[in-house]
Amino acid sequence: MIAASIDICVCTFRRPALAETLRSLAAMEMPAGYRIGVIVADNDDGPSARALVDELAAQLALPISYVHCPARNISIARNACLEASSADFVAFIDDDEKATSQWLARLAETAEATSADVVLGPVRARYSSTAPRWMRTGDFHSTYPVFVSGQIRTGYTCNVLLRTKAASIAGRRFSLARGQTGGEDTEFFDQVFEAGGAIAYAADAWVEEPVPATRATLGWLTKRRYRVGQTHGRLLASKTSGMCLIPAFALASAKAGYCFFAAGIGVFRPVGRSRSLLRGVMHVGVLSGLIGVREIRLYGSEGGQRAA
């Protein structure tokens, strides 16, 4: 019997923390019955990560291949991973995350148990002691799927396993148009769901992500929530048009108003105030997406590829 295969894909852009990500993958307990490989897609203009990847490939007991896909467009890097893989499954993890010892095994177990096309896992944020107390208490940076009426209808690429030969996924690629604004993963998994792909959740398939000082600010969270709202609004607008958008616009307006009101009356409760404020900003983003305001750019800056 031929063993099933999983390729773990890591898209990178000028991030030395990639070394720790790869070491954490090599240290995992591998899922039984699977052949495991790693694909690193370097999105920098020049092959800046090649030397690091080659060095680690020689050290670690894990097959690692390198793909240079320049353009500072995260979708190009994600698509390069999909093109380079011939595995039965593809997993994505970010280049600043660390896999826990059971990460891939738990994703694979859930895929086997559910036969889902997509399995998402949670991302646990790791804060430094200098991060604001309200942020650490409220845990504003960890990532979990959103359930709507008991279903997960979209997803993310910071912790996911894809069944590459599933009808909802085979041949599908990430939007190049969203490769610098962000939201390319939300759109991708929204389309997978619309095509009939089931999305499952492995609650114990953890990866960990440090929160650097540049992200431990209300300003960064505000920008991220606004862009998330823009993507959601654009997706809603793509499924309807004209007068049919009025109910969605009215609902987002009402939600934004309610959230800002809740933030105002909760001014002395930092966690609740910040949560309400950020939800309000997200709904303002939905409004901007509904009316077609150009989405803000999050990727491809000189300071680093990822902003979300």
- Average pLDDT, integer, range 37-58: 97
Domain count, the chain: 2
Output the pLDDT for position 179: 84
Q: Is residue 304 part of a domain?
A: no
Quick: pLDDT tens for 297-307.
Answer: 665 554 444 43
pLDDT over 90, % of the chain: 86
The pLDDT, as a whole number, for residue 243 is 81
Tell me, yes or no, whether 153 lies in a domain. yes
Residues 141 and 272 in one domain: no
Write down how long the chain is.
Answer: 308
| Mean pLDDT value across residues 40-47 | 97
Rounded average pLDDT over 27-56: 97
The pLDDT value given to residue 306: 45
What's the pLDDT tens digit per position in 270-290?
A: 999 999 999 999 999 999 999
Residue 284 burial by Cβ neighbours in a 10 Å radius (0-12, 13-18, 19+):
buried
Say if CB 34 and CB 108 are below 8 A apart: yes
Lowest mean pLDDT among 17-21, 70-74, 156-160: 70-74
Q: Residues 104, 152: one domain?
A: yes
Q: In CATH, what number is assigned to the domain containing residue 156?
A: 3.90.550.10
Residue where a domain terminates, one of 210, 235, 268: 210
Radius of gyration for the chain, computed over Cα atoms and rounded to the nearest angstrom: 19
Query: Which secondary structure element, helix H or strand E, spans residue 7, and what is its range?
Result: strand 4-12
74 lies in which domain range? Answer: 4-210
Instruction: Say yes or no: 203 and 73 in one domain.
Output: yes
SS3 148: strand
